[in-house]
Chains A and B, each alone.
Chain A
Amino acid sequence: NAGVMQNPRHLVRRRGQEARLRCSPMKGHSHVYWYRQLPEEGLKFMVYLQKENIIDESGMPKERFSAEFPKEGPSILRIQQVVRGDSAAYFCASSPLGTGIEDIQYFGAGTRLSVL
């Protein structure tokens, strides 16, 4: 059973470009969480999704950021018109069908976004 897969591992974008980060949860998991870790800062929650539904997006910046978890395929975190301040490590976690945020979460290795 493969773990949570994130790709790419490293992503370099120029200011103004779009960044797409992908997360494939563990098999059988229907809950996905995205977190951001800014340089020299701790982890911060961004969004919690179930298949085809956004459950909690209270940690998402109001503009340029969006997330989806379609019925088929990976969850996507999309950042439009990236700025240097978006440079960070973005982690995805998944948990089994069950109590959602109270489940043990399994983390991916992260995508490190660098904005030039």
Chain B
Amino acid sequence: KNEVEQSPQNLTAQEGEFITINCSYSVGISALHWLQQHPGGGIVSLFMLSSGKKKHGRLIATINIQEKHSSLHITASHPRDSAVYICAVANTGNQFYFGTGTSLTVIP
């Protein structure tokens, strides 16, 4: 079993839809990261969370430490949001674990 599980693995949405990507983890963490990887491979760090909620534009990330769960929400989705979204956790021993990613396609 992976230390980090993401769902869904693949997601297709119509432009404008509200999107949620989920991440569950099984280790004690010091921080959780959401990353975005576009076709062609470049990676962008979207959020780093250790508690609560963060918002950046149309993106919202939440984390529930007790439930070991985080969600990434995209409001008013757009085709340019099409990418792979990766959840990564840093445990208290400074080791990093990555989810396998959620491939999002937003159709115009």
Which of A's residues lie within 8 Å of B, judged by CB?
A: 33, 35, 37, 41-45, 48, 55-56, 58-59, 89, 91, 93, 100-107, 109-110, 112
Question: Once the chains bind, are A91 and B43 in contact (CB under 8 Å)?
Answer: yes
| Known interface pairs A42-B101, A105-B48; A100-B94 also in contact (CB < 8 Å) | yes
B25 at the interface (CB under 8 A from A): no
B57 at the interface (CB under 8 A from A): no
Closest Cβ of chain A to B94, distance in Å, is 5
- A58 to B, closest residue via Cβ: B95
Question: Once the chains bind, are A101 and B88 in contact (CB under 8 Å)?
Answer: no
CA distance in complex: A26, B42 (Å): 16
B50 contact set on A, CB distance < 8 A: 102
CA distance in complex: A75, B2 (Å): 30
Question: Once the chains bind, are B30 and A102 in contact (CB under 8 Å)?
Answer: yes
B41 contact set on A, CB distance < 8 A: 37, 89, 109-110, 112
Q: A42-B99, A105-B33 are in contact. List 19 more A-B contacts (CB 8 A).
A: A33-B96, A35-B96, A37-B41, A42-B86, A42-B98, A42-B101, A44-B98, A45-B95, A93-B45, A100-B94, A101-B30, A101-B94, A102-B30, A104-B33, A106-B45, A107-B35, A107-B43, A107-B45, A110-B42
Interface of B is mostly: strand
Question: Once the chains bind, are A110 and B43 in contact (CB under 8 Å)?
Answer: yes
- B43 to A, closest residue via Cβ: A107
Closest Cβ of chain B to A88, distance in Å, is 11
Within 8 A of A (CB), among B60-92: 86, 88, 90
Closest Cβ of chain A to B63, distance in Å, is 13
